[in-house]
Chain A
Amino acid sequence: MLLTRRYRFAASHRLNTEALSPEENTRLYGKCNNPYGHGHDYVLDVTVEGRMHRDGQVVDRQALDTLVSEQVLARIDHRNLNCDVPELAERVPTTENLASAIEDMLKRRWKLPARLAKVRISETAKNTFELETK
């Protein structure tokens, strides 16, 4: 059985890689390359997979909320992803890389009796990225 819990956070970022020239960055990332950055209201869906326990739950919601709040939201909500998040310091803060960083943040302290199955992030209502975790 799968259980999915939705969270929200707001963050700013700028997409730019030193591997490319300024002109190439502008061409590749378009408006997302704006030197001053920009922000989104992200929606994060965390899916866990497991068998239902005797309490009728796959996972304790409060334990999951605490983990996500402490390990993820406290690090990225109302932050600049380029400057404030060490996990993204060496990576372009695309939503793909952000999903991977969030997987790492969760797995570092994961002690819940269910498997982390998916991390899905909507950057806007039109763009959604889903990472199936191993």
Chain B
Amino acid sequence: MLLTRKAEFSASHVCADPALNEAENHARYGANANPHGHGHNYVLEVTIAGDPDPVTGMVFDLRELKEIMNAEVVDPMDHRFLNREVPPFDCVVPTAENIAVEIWKRLERRIPGPSTRLKNVRLYETADLYVDYGGEDS
């Protein structure tokens, strides 16, 4: 069974490779390369797979999941400039893809297996763009 919980955070970022000049970064990332940054209201959907516990009837304790998502993602990223305040985005370009991978890494170590496992991280950068990441094999 799958369980999905949603969270939101607002953050600013710049998508630019320091090895490229401003024109090259604009060619690659468009307006996302604006050096002073811009922001999004990110929407995160975390999906956990597992069988409901026979005693509690739950795949995963939603309150615990909320606390994990807050501690690992929302608290450190909400109302922050990702490039300047949230490692590893001081050296990793904070595209939606890279943010989804980072969120996966942070959550995976907090979700105990093998009966329950992190299944998917969906990150909406805007209502019109989202990425799905399901781990290294995806």
Contact = CB atoms under 8 A, between A and B. Distances in A.
Interface in B75-107: 92-98, 100-101
Contacts of B97: 1, 3, 52, 56-58
A1 to B, nearest CB: 5
Interface string A70-93: 000000000000000000000000
A55 interface: yes
Given A3-B97, A52-B98, A61 B129 contact: yes
A60 interface: yes
A24 B96 CA distance: 49
Contact of A6 (B95, B100, B127, B132): B127
Contacts of A133: none
Contacts of B132: 1-4
Size range of the chain A interface in the assembly: 10 to 19
Contacts, number: 50
A73 to B, nearest CB: 13
A5 interface: yes
B128 A5 contact: yes
Chain B contact residues: over half helix, strand or loop, or mixed?
Answer: mixed
A62 interface: yes
Contact of B131 (A1, A7, A60, A62): A1
B133 A1 contact: yes
Nearest to A2: B132
Contacts of B8: none
B125 to A, nearest CB: 10
B30 A58 contact: no
Instruction: Give the 9 A-B residue pairs with the shortest CB-CB distance, closest first.
Output: A6-B128, A56-B95, A2-B132, A56-B93, A56-B98, A3-B131, A52-B97, A1-B133, A4-B130
